[in-house]
Each structure stands twice: as C-alpha cells, then as structure tokens.
Structure 1
C-alpha cells in the first residue's frame, strides 16, 4: 500500500494533547476506509502537524481525517521510506 505524509497548517495554537485526541479519532475511523495512520509529529511553535499513513490513495487518507475530526490536510505527499 502507498505511504503518505500529510501536512496540516493551523491558524490556531496546537498542542501535543490536541493532536493525540485527533489521532485517536483517526484510529477509530480508519478501518472503514482501508487506511492505517502510523505516526504523527507536532510543531507547536508553528502550529503544524505531520501524519504518516498507509492508504490506498491520498483521498482515502483525507476522508478519514474529515470523518474523524474535520481537520483535513493542506498537503499530502506520497513518500518512500528509507532505511
């Protein structure tokens, strides 16, 4: 399955606790769309969130965000993992 990194740029301040709750909502929603959210990173100083996800396509990944909490990504990039 393809691997994607999505980027959220929020206008409001974001905290690790906020994102942890949204991530839990993603995990509860993802199975219906064949998506697997793997990890996330938060840049609190710049109100940015980065999510790593296995998904059939970028639309499926964003659909999970939309259904789970409404915070869709501003950008989604297909990536390959290096070792």
Structure 2
C-alpha cells in the first residue's frame, strides 16, 4: 500500500470537533475504497488541513474525501519515511 499526504485549503476556523467529525466520516467509508486514514492535522488560522493515509492510489483517497464532502486540493505520495 502506498502512503499519501493530502492537503485541504479554505477551512479557516475549523474546530477540533469539526476536524474529528470529518476524520470520522472518512473512516466510515474508507474501507469501500481500500484506504485507511491514519491521522489528520489542522491549522484553523490558515485554514489548512492535512491528512495522512494509506491506499491503492491518490484517486481512491480523493474518492473518499469527495464522498464525505471535503475534496482535497492536493494529494502527494509519501514513498519515504523514517
């Protein structure tokens, strides 16, 4: 499985509860696309949200986000980590 970091913009003012709800929504349907969302981080001031996931493709990651109402602006493969 490949790892991906996706980025969402224009989420200024997001709260911890809203971030949690969005992450839970992804978790609820991720299996249907063979994706697993590991973590999510947010900067409410800039409106940037980051999600780390594993899945078969960036397209599968995007399909989950689209289904849950928060399409990613960018999805980057993360082939190396320590």
TM-score higher than 0.5: yes
Contiguous gaps of at least 5 residues in structure 2: none
Provide the TM-score with structure 1 as the length reference.
0.91
Is this contact kept in 2: 1:3–1:54, CA < 8 A? yes
Contiguous gaps of at least 5 residues in structure 1: none
Indicate the residue corresponding to 1:50 in structure 2: 50
Is this contact kept in 2: 1:16–1:44, CA < 8 A? no
Is this contact kept in 1: 2:9–2:73, CA < 8 A? yes
Is this contact kept in 2: 1:14–1:48, CA < 8 A? no
**Where do residues 2-81 of structure 1 align in structure 2 (5 Å cutoff)?**
2-10=2-10, 12-68=12-68, 70-81=69-80
Spell out structure 1 runs of 4+ moving beyond 2 A.
none
The answer to which structure has the higher helix fraction is: 1
SS at match of 1:32: helix
Is this contact kept in 1: 2:5–2:75, CA < 8 A? yes
Aligned length, in residue pairs: 82
**Please, what is the CA RMSD of the aligned residues?**
1.2
